[in-house]
Structure 1
Amino acid sequence: MIEDASPAWGVAGEFLDFVFTRREERERFLDWLAWCLQNESDKPNWAPFLYSETKGSGKSTLCSLVARLFGEENTVSQNNVDKLSGRFNAPVLTKKLVICEELNLRQDSPQGNALKTYLTESRVMTERKGQDAETVDHCCCFLFTTNHAPMWIEPEDRRYYIIEFDHDGHAAGPRAEEFSALVGRLVEFMEDERAMAGVYRALMERRLSNGFSAKTLNVERDGTEIMRRIHAASEQTVRAQLRELLDDRGQHVVPEGEVVKLIREELGQNPNSTRHIMIEMGWSKSKVKWGGCEYARAIWVRDGYWVEQGRVKGPGHYSQPISEHLAGARQPGAAAPGLDVCVEAPLY
């Protein structure tokens, strides 16, 4: 970059004002970007995630602008995370800026779990072709884009700051021509070394907002509207699926360990929010003895039912031994560890 350039946003500022329709999201993104440039030897623990349902909204253009600020030699851009999560990932993790476009994963997938590690851990395992794997320090910052709502992100996940590009300059929007012209001017602007040096200087001299942290993302305080919608929809989906599954099985009590197993294996979801989901479904947790065990085990009980002296009891004089009830709820051929065996269930 040109050393004597004065801080100036120029056309880049016009572009940012257009694509960010909410000031607080623009400021948080710029705080993140400025911190990453000002602290090149350190890494943030969360990443901006640009989402738009429509095409032509400027996500890729913004990625190009950010890449120019870091420099081509310090940046790698890829579709999804195949190179990043693959075996020979060293060429990616040696860059400062990693851009992953069209990111679309499954919840709790191997690629998603690898991404979590890279976002939060500063020491990771890398490998180059023809060389042994080794643990290295990395200081990557990540920038993601997608045209699909990232429903795979777990509720309360603090690694992704999702920003919706919902301006009306997208390809089918009423201001499409205006926005297209602005993008054209920005492309020319990015070819001007002095102009880009002005943007770089503005970010290097930027004073970060009070309360900003590149290490911790407070999703309760700083979550965007699209983040709240995605998190709520994710919880509602798991809750509805689990309720339907337990209703189909006619199950009025379920051991803690089996709830975890159902969510993970039957529904393919992360079981970390087990307690939250069961409470919202109206179930309550007790510790009771059953099946000949001498100690109490954690078990969830459906609303309107209760457990007493090793039996499930409910409306209409319903009464059945817990072990019989659980055995009757098993699916044919399915293993049911912890139902009759005296094993202490994990408490989540």
Structure 2
Amino acid sequence: MEYDNEKATFLSDNNSTKKYRNGFERCVSNELKRLKLNCGKTVILRIFFCLFILFIILFRGYILCLLGFLNCYITWPFSSPLHVKIDLLNLSNEPKGREYIPRRMHHILLGPLSKAPPQSWVAARNSCIELHSKFEEHYYWTDENGVEFLRKNYPWFVKTWQSYKTNVQKADALRYFVLHHYGGIFLDMDLYCLHKLDGLFNYLDNRVSPEEHIFLAVKAFPVGISNGFMITTRRHPLFQHVIENLELYNRNFLLPHATIIISTGPMCISIQIQLHRSLWNSILVLDGKENMIGGKTNTPLFKHLGSGSWHQADDMFFKNIPMNIQHQNQTFSISIIVFISFIFVFFIGRYRNFIKVS
């Protein structure tokens, strides 16, 4: 009888031990699985962090360019250099003092067209020369004298200039160098001069002193300035910043139009304007829809033939962005708010799902 009781007691204790052992083993097993899961997540996070750092290192140039581009697009409608409205046809053509801006006119035509330019372009350039025959110099820049000018004055840039895929990029870049070196006025070949620019030169001379600089360009759509018509003093710091950053911006941004306007075109100089606000006191933007030179149109000073030789298929993508500064500031603001809200909700949703899964 005692034996049976002892046996029952032993079996009961043994079963309790087994239950405890099984429970302990399950607890240890679950804890190990949890530790493995946490370790796995930590490893994955570290891998993604390392890949992120590697991505930044490899594409830091693109990131800097795109950040400058976004900064210009977002901030220009709310904060930009002084926009001026000038009665261009009633300015006095008689000089009132010292001429600070060189009376030099620059035209650029590269590639095969420079050998046999369209007659309409020849007529356009001749109209500007005839109206400004008293200017001290009229430059016609081609592949030959363009590269010779760079080799003599900016030899460090020759290799980059020759690496551009299109003549449009070469022409865009060259205009910044000749204006930096000589000053004066640059005009696209398809701008036909309707009136003298002497009054505008005098107006700008009266706003500057020997120790200062002045730069004027036409407002562009949707943001920034146009680089098809620019007037400046020699060695303007803005052009120094532009030419110093041309090598950084010499990248392929997938879309042909985007590559041109960001690497050397209007956005290239507009980005530098937004990044260097200390220069805004020497920068003027000619305001007014009537002065914009996009497409075939007449302005008070020019007849724009609107050749659009460098516009590509993706041009409409940019021109349809609802950012008309004069009439659509509200639409632009709402678009930015909606975009930021979407990004915020998207990441918050992903974060909550991650917490639930964890």
Look at both structures and tell me which one has the larger radius of gyration over its CA atoms: 2
TM-score, normalising length from structure 1? Answer: 0.27
Relative to total residues, which structure has the larger helix share, 1 or 2?
A: 2
